[in-house]
Amino acid sequence: MKKLLRAVLMLLPLGLFAEALTLGMPIHSFAFKDQFEKTLSPTSQTKQVIIAFNKAQGEIVKTFLEAHPHYLHENNALYLMDASEVPGMVLSMFMLPKFKKYPYSIGLIQEEKDVALFPKKEDHITILTLENNTVTGLEFKQAL
């Protein structure tokens, strides 16, 4: 009995990790703070979620959004950036002041467990297409 209990307790944490989103999955409500300390989360009107996982991808998205300044609003899109590996001091002293100059919101994913929710392909930006909070499309782009 003790061995069974020990085995269950050892495997329990594995069940706590979120499964990465795939086609047809409902997107569970998530909420991330943006650079202005506002909560950024999907609604039933959200049609697209763009996720950059590193600085180079962030620069690609930034360049795209500078060329298309109304893209996020016109397409009911959210932009998220993986900041889970950025030290808090670097984020608060350098990145946030820089991001506050941008005219759009960047949801900052600061926990590794939250990053795992989003499908990822090495050196690619992830773009989720949504319909009523359900994933209807999944793309990996090297450039937008």
Q: What pLDDT, on a 0 to 100 scale, did the predictor assign at position 116?
A: 94
Residue 12's pLDDT is 37
* pLDDT value for 18: 56
How far, in Å, are 3, 14, 15, 19, 53 from residue 10 at the CA level?
10, 8, 10, 19, 30
pLDDT tens for the 144 residues of the chain, in order: 444 333 333 333 333 445 788 888 888 778 999 999 999 999 999 999 999 999 999 999 999 999 999 999 999 999 999 999 999 999 999 999 999 999 999 999 999 999 999 999 999 999 999 999 999 999 999 876
pLDDT of residue 70: 96
* R_g of the chain, CA atoms, integer Å: 17
* pLDDT for residue 17: 44
| Cβ–Cβ under 8 Å, residues 107 and 80 | yes
- Alpha-carbon distances of 38 from 6, 31, 64, 106, 111, rounded to whole Å: 42, 10, 23, 10, 17
How crowded is residue 81: how many other Cβ atoms within 10 Å of its Cβ? 26
Cα–Cα distance between 33 and 29 in angstroms, integer? 14
We find that the CATH architecture of domain 20-141 is: 3-Layer(aba) Sandwich (3.40)
Task: Confirm if 91 and 58 have CB atoms less than 8 A apart.
Answer: no
Domain edges within the chain: 20-141
Q: What is the pLDDT of residue 114?
A: 94
User: Distance between CA atoms of 128 and 25, rounded to whole angstroms?
Assistant: 11
